[in-house]
A and B are shown apart, each in its own frame.
Chain A
Amino acid sequence: MSTTGESLSDLVLAAQEQLWVPAELRQSDIEKLLGGLLSSNIDLGELYFQASRNEFWSLEDGIVRDAGFSTDRGVGVRAVSGEKTGFAYADDIMLPALTQATQAAKSITRQGQDKSVCVLRARGQIARYSAEDPIRSLDEAQKVDLLMRVEQEARRQDPRVEEVTVRLSASHDTCLIVATDGTLAGDVRPLVRLDVSVIVAQKGRKERGSSGGGGRFSLDWFEQEQRCMEFAREAVRIALVNLEAVDAPAGNMPVVLGAGWPGVLLHEAVGHGLEGDFNRKGSSAFSGKMGEQVASSLCTVVDNGTMENRRGSLSVDDEGEPTQCTTLIENGILTGYLFDKLNARLMNVASTGNGRRESYAHLPMPRMTNTYMLAGESDQEEIIASVDKGLYAVNFGGGQVDITSGQFVFSATEAYLIENGKVTAPVKGATIIGNGPEVMTRISMVGNDLKLDQGVGVCGKDGQSVPVGVGQPTLKIDEVVVGGTAA
């Protein structure tokens, strides 16, 4: 086995330096391990080396009491044969542990004949973010100071602010992927996030508001354009709106979803249902619908892992494939699924660069990156003005989908009534429920104001969490069930 192709990218070199050098692992050791996997009649053998460092600082009651630092490193070994997968991992990056994990992973297959030869090829990689360590981008005293200033900004907004919690987190994650299909790829991923949550109280009533943001860059980002202060003000604003909120209506009605974070709708109603594993297995409500009309013709939805510095972006996915922009729905027609290597191979297509895993200790599967709907032609005011009586929902707590029945739910944290074409009273506790394929066909207006979220999305699937992005323009659903308490 030997390495050929263009010169190794900086990312691969950086990853090797961090993951192989301390363990005195040489390329020839890795070649031997992969050769051992190839000898067992398997379709894909893969080693995923990872080292990550995480730090958080949190403030409550006006003091930075809690902060922590953690490190994790290890290697996951995967052997795939047909639809079968063997998987083992070790939290030592050391040859004996690696050999043992490799033996365990390939236990799914019979031993084969002679060792084959495998050629590792490093392809050119396009970095979608800086490889710099965000944990070091501010020193400890600066981090504490940032939290304190954010808290003061929140308290300054209104005397009704009772509690403020602020949390700053940063991680730096290095991975190196080698596989029997020749893959040799590396990535160094920064990720930062700031969350502000406040409680306001008035006449015995309490409400919460929260805001935040982040992405794949250094902590300086929060100081630029006063972003961290803006999150503080936004959290207070939402909490105060909720203090005035009346009970949400219940029943079928038109709903206008705001631009940006309400793109959770697409993530739940469409995105998960288009992941390749569910479609290969035929367990998604969208299975077998390729080329069919699955949404109103106003809808074009993409998953784009290549966006610069975005929380959901990756330079390469966790299988070493470059990310791309995949069109899932074009003018209402289903045009694409999201694939990892295993499901792509079994469905005779190419991976879309959506193979993701929470860590070396988890198996990769098809996952979203940044999923959003492209802008349409309507003005936001025009969309609201078109509704007689309905709901305008601008912020959501999160959502959930049953991909088999297509039923999805998401819960508004900031929503208003629309009466006679005007936004009126704020409402609390509105949940929206619908069937993904049905709701998508009822989208009757799409705004020209596409916005991505601020960078706080976490997607969970089969117990694995990964960072994602969502986005959309303002859009109108003609009829969907709103679950409030007001009859």
Chain B
Amino acid sequence: MNIPAKNDSPLADISASQSLVRDQVEFILETAKRLGASAAEVSVSQDVGLSVTARMGELETVEFNQDRGFGVTVYVDDRKGVSSTSDISSEAVTDTVKAALNIAKYTQGDPCSGLADADKLATDIPELDVFHPWEINAKDATKLALDCESQAMGMDKRINNSDGATLASHQSCRAYGNSNGFLGSYLSSRHSLAIAVIATDAAGMQKDYWYTVSRRAEDLENAQDVGQEAARRAVARLGSRSFAPGRMPVLFSPQMSTGLIGSLLSALAGGALYRNMSFLTESMGTKVAQQDLSIVEYPLLQRAMGSAGFDGDGVATSSKAFIKNGIVNSYILSTYSARRLSLESTGNAGGVHNVSIEGALSSLSKLLKQMGTGVMVTQLMGQGVNAVTGDYSRGASGFWIENGEIAYPIENFTIASNLKDMFLGVAGLGTDVDLRGNIRSGSILVDEMTVATG
């Protein structure tokens, strides 16, 4: 994308904040120690942003964001207290630390709690190239949003309404430190352009959306292309027809596949495992997915949306496979959950970083041929994923596939199975990888699920 930048932008580069934020971490740690904490950890953040929405050819909303705040966790022996505030005055620091210490008088001791061991803390924090401030002003942001929307509206006569196009640009400065001597900080930026439009025919309205997001404005998709894709998707949903329900193959679009992988990862997360709230407890080394399938994280990718050099405990991140050739290879652990499970932290306090699904990839047309007849799911709704049992039952819309071709749009149906069966039954992975999010996947073909419809 062409990037207009002006010196009248409200988004002045916040890199100067970094040393200030680091000083604040040290000050808060000192305060905690002085007031009686035996150990403490602190995170301080500062964010600025601009978000502009245009709708039906006019500017609709201009929002300026400016957030800051800090959170402190204090330990008094093995008791813990947490407190946070948006106020960073030294008076507020004292009050907030005192509030955390007060809580720690009443919480009960837990031998697993406490800071990460000093030898696990990240020492060299790699440069990840995730900070590219974009000094765009509201006027130019509006122009990009309008361009995007007018492309969408002009694509097809049936696109006759819009939810608007939003251009947003944010910068963030975060620092984390603890009384074991760790202090890390990073600056990051996030720019996005998103649009949702409505297509209408005699049967009613259908809405769909598209977006582009990146660390660097130059890497955003062209505003016109984003608009056109949203329009193409909304129009494709018109004219839905009924189909025969039953047990059949289900193809998850790349956008829906990332959610499916997210459900599996939630079940491998330490918190779910030690609480016994996962269908994958004690699954290490067992087969949980089809043998070609691996799920791997790459925390140190340059300029990626999920990159991080250290986790929420200050522990160094590293590349690793959670699932390797269908076998559970690593859980997703923070310092605390690792101690609960008598394991080592995997550097995942706060979540996963740049997850990819790997295996033998096929083109979408090949996957469609392979499935023959079934449903392709492009939208999923509802909370019907039970992490404890793996039971999966969600509302869906998408396309009916016949003889390996997209036949027509379908809606108002459900797909149901169990996550265990679904991952063991993965019959194909697509080359159509969506690189935008923290989880990157192409289409996933599941051999069989129960599809219900009216």
Contacts and interface: CB of A to CB of B under 8 A. Distances in A.
B245 interface: yes
Given A64-B108, A405-B206, A409-B382, A483 B415 contact: yes
Contacts of A90: 66
Nearest to A410: B382
B450 A485 contact: yes
A71 B382 contact: no
A66 B245 contact: no
Given A71-B96, A86-B62, A487-B246, A250 B107 contact: no
Contact of B276 (A163, A361, A398): A163
Interface string B150-166: 00000000000101000
Nearest to B96: A71
Interface in B200-234: 204-207
Contacts of B84: 68-71
Given A66-B107, A481-B454, A484-B450, A430 B59 contact: no
Given A67-B103, A86-B62, A283-B161, A485 B417 contact: yes
Interface in B252-272: none
B275 A88 contact: no
A79 B413 CA distance: 43
A110 to B, nearest CB: 13
B82 A206 contact: no
B63 interface: yes
A91 B386 contact: no
Contacts of B108: 63-65, 144
A431 B382 contact: yes
A202 B415 CA distance: 28
Contacts of B81: 67-69
Nearest to A80: B61
A125 interface: no
B85 A72 contact: yes
Contact of A65 (B58, B80, B161, B395): B80
Interface string A473-484: 000000111111
Interface string B356-390: 00000000000000000000000101111010110
B62 A107 contact: yes
Interface in A242-277: 248, 250-252
A395 interface: no
Contacts of B85: 70-72
A404 B205 contact: yes
B452 interface: yes
B18 interface: no
Contacts of A129: none
B450 A250 contact: yes
Given A407-B397, A431-B382, A483-B393, A91 B105 contact: no
Contacts of A361: 65, 67
A481 B452 contact: yes
A89 B113 contact: no
Contacts of A169: none
B454 A402 contact: no
A250 B277 contact: no
A306 interface: no
B100 interface: yes
Given A107-B138, A108-B62, A405-B204, A431 B82 contact: no
Contacts of B436: none
A230 B221 CA distance: 54
A83 B60 contact: yes
B114 to A, nearest CB: 12
B83 A68 contact: yes
B382 A251 contact: no
A480 B452 CA distance: 11
Nearest to B88: A91
Contacts of A404: 198, 205-207
B83 A69 contact: yes
A186 B291 CA distance: 61
B276 A199 contact: yes
Contacts of B113: 65
Contacts of B86: 71-74, 91
What size tier do the contact residues of chain B reach? 35 or more
B69 interface: yes
Which residue of B99, B275, B454 has the most chain A CB atoms within 10 A of its CB atom? B454
B63 A363 contact: yes
A96 B275 CA distance: 48
A71 B72 CA distance: 12
Interface in A121-178: 140-141, 143-144, 162-163, 165
A397 interface: yes
A398 B382 CA distance: 7
Nearest to A82: B58
Interface string B389-427: 101111101000000000000011111111000000000
A271 to B, nearest CB: 16
Name which of B64, B92, B279 has the most chain A CB atoms within 10 A of its CB: B64
B112 to A, nearest CB: 9
Contacts of B106: 64, 67, 140-141, 143-144
Interface string B37-70: 0000000000000000001001111111111110
Nearest to B109: A63
B89 to A, nearest CB: 9
Nearest to B95: A71
A428 B105 CA distance: 42
Contacts of A143: 106
A140 B102 contact: yes
A144 B58 CA distance: 54
A371 interface: no
Most chain B CB atoms below 10 A, which of A107, A410, A429 = A429
B416 A84 contact: no
B124 interface: no
B453 interface: yes
B243 to A, nearest CB: 13
B87 interface: yes
A69 B110 contact: no
Contacts of B204: 285, 405-406
B247 interface: yes
A63 to B, nearest CB: 4
15 contacts: A64-B106, A65-B80, A65-B107, A71-B96, A89-B64, A108-B62, A251-B452, A285-B204, A363-B63, A405-B204, A411-B382, A411-B383, A429-B416, A481-B452, A482-B452
Interface of B: 10, 55, 58-69, 71, 80-87, 92, 96, 99-100, 102-103, 105-110, 113, 138, 161, 163, 198, 204-207, 237, 245-247, 275-277, 279, 379, 381-384, 386, 388-389, 391-395, 397, 411-418, 450, 452-454
Given A101-B64, A282-B161, 9 more contacts: A67-B80, A68-B103, A69-B100, A70-B83, A71-B85, A72-B86, A140-B105, A397-B383, A429-B393
Top 6 A-B pairs, shortest CB-CB distance = A483-B414, A409-B395, A409-B382, A68-B82, A250-B452, A404-B207
Interface of A: 60, 63-74, 83-92, 101, 104-105, 107-108, 140-141, 143-144, 162-163, 165, 199, 201, 205-208, 248, 250-252, 281-283, 285, 361, 363, 397-402, 404-411, 428-431, 433-435, 479-487
